[in-house]
Structure 1
Amino acid sequence: MNFSSWPSLLVVDVEGNGTNPPDLVEVAALPVRGGRPDTSTAGAWLTKPRRPVTPFAARVHGLTNELLNAQPGWEEIAAQVHTLLGTSWVAAHNAHVDHRVLTAHLPRWQPAGVLDTLRLAKATYPGLPKYSLDALVAHVEPDLTQAPAQRHRATFDAYATAQLLIAMAAHYDTWDQLVAVAVPPGLPGAPEPEEEATLW
């Protein structure tokens, strides 16, 4: 894979407050450049949700109401998040979720395309018993020594997802081949279905 052929791409991860639909409590956006995660230009934001964090969500990611009370509301950081994301491609694990939550919070945001590392993993490593982020980290064993924070925080999960994306991309020759297997139908960037030939 020639990583220099990639368009602008950011790996994103979001954490929510546990409600349905969720309010955001953390967003991370990590550019991938030259086949590496570029932490020097990454963005990470904590935000106070409109509704309190549920006890279950707090246990998962460790972001409590007390910790978030001093953080800015979403309306104070939305423009910054939108500016960093721009019109780049984004990648996420189980990307439907992150795309849905981000578009709900950024109605005018439209990425060039969306890569799903869950979908990509199922094509790249068929037959694995599980395709969770933890299962793929155990299978691929990417270098996470420079990952910030800890598992279930947006910054860590974005870094881990970026390393998995880079490792899986090595199994494909071109960007177009990667897109063909990694973009879920219905999300931006999905290849157009080929029209069936007819005799008429």
Structure 2
Amino acid sequence: MNFSSWPPLLVVDVEGNGTTPPDLVEVAALPVRDGRPDTTTAGAWLTRPKRPVTPFAARVHGLTNERLATAPGWEEISGQVHALLDGAWICAHHAHVDYRVLRAHLPQWQPAGVLDTLRLAKAVHPGLPKYSLDALLDHIRPDLTQAPAAGRHRATYDAYATAQLLLVLAAHFDTWDQLVAAAVPPGLPGAPEPETDPTLW
């Protein structure tokens, strides 16, 4: 895989307040350039949700209402998030979830395309008992020595881990187009158009 041929791409991860639909409490966007996560230009934001964080969500990611009380509201940071993501591909694990939440919070934004490491892992490693991020990190063991100290279930850590997972999985493909064909869920931006049969009128 020639990583230098990739279009602009950011691995994203979001954390929510536990409600349905969720309010965002954390967003991370990590560019991947020349086959490496570029932490020097990454974006990471905490944001105070309009509705309180549920106890369950707080136990998962550790972001409590008290911790977020002084964080900016979404309207204060949405422009920064939009500017970083604008015009780029995104990648996430179980990507339709992150894509749907980001689109709900950024209605004017549309990515160039969406890669899903869960879908990609199923193509590269069929038959695994589980395809959760934790299960794949245990199975594939990408290099996480430089991962953010925040830890699992925080957006910065999960985005970094997903980026490293993406790079290991992408090495199984020769071209960007092959990667896209395997990794973009049907119906999401960037999905290849079905070939038309030239023999049909």
Please classify the TM superposition score into its range, dividing by the shorter chain length. Answer: over 0.9
Residues 43-96 of structure 1 deviation map (CA, whole Å, 9 limit, x = unaligned): 000000000000000000000000000100000000000001111000000000
Equivalent position amino acid for 1:183 in 2: V
Q: What percentage of residue pairs aligned between the two structures are identical?
A: 81
The corresponding residue for 2:171 is: 170
Residue 56 (structure 2) pairs with residue 56 (structure 1):
yes
Q: Who is 1:179 aligned against?
A: 180
Distance 1:194 1:143 in 2: 38
Instruction: Give SS of 1:158's match.
Output: helix
What value does the CA root-mean-square deviation take over the aligned residues? 0.7
Quote the Cα distance in structure 1 between the aligned partners of 2:63 and 2:168: 30
Q: 2:154: which partner in 1? A: 153
Q: CA deviation at 1:143?
A: 1.1
Output the TM-score relative to the length of structure 1. 0.99
**Structure 1 partner of 2:20:** 20
Moved over 2 A (4+): 196-200
The 5 Å alignment of 1:94-109 reads 94-109=94-109
- Listed as ranges, the matches of 1:68-107 within 5 Å are 68-107=68-107
Q: Distance in 1 between matches of 2:161 and 2:36?
A: 12
What does residue 139 of structure 2 align with? 139
Task: Give the alignment's TM-score, normalised by structure 2.
Answer: 0.98
Gaps of 5+ in 1: none
In the alignment, the residues of structure 2 paired with residue 199 and residue 67 of structure 1 have an alpha-carbon distance, to the nearest angstrom, of: 61
* Alpha-carbon distance between aligned partners in 1 of 2:103 and 2:146, rounded to the nearest angstrom: 29
Whether 1:123 and 2:104 are equivalent positions in the alignment is no
CA-CA distance at 1:199 after TM superposition: 5.2
Uncovered stretches (5+) of structure 2, i.e. residues with no partner: none
Q: State the distance in 1 between where 2:196 and 2:50 align.
A: 46
How big is each residue's C-alpha offset from its partner over 1:77-124, in whole Å with a ceiling of 9 and x where there is no partner? Answer: 000000011110000000000000000000000110000100000001
**Count of paired positions:** 200
Residue aligned with 1:112, SS: coil
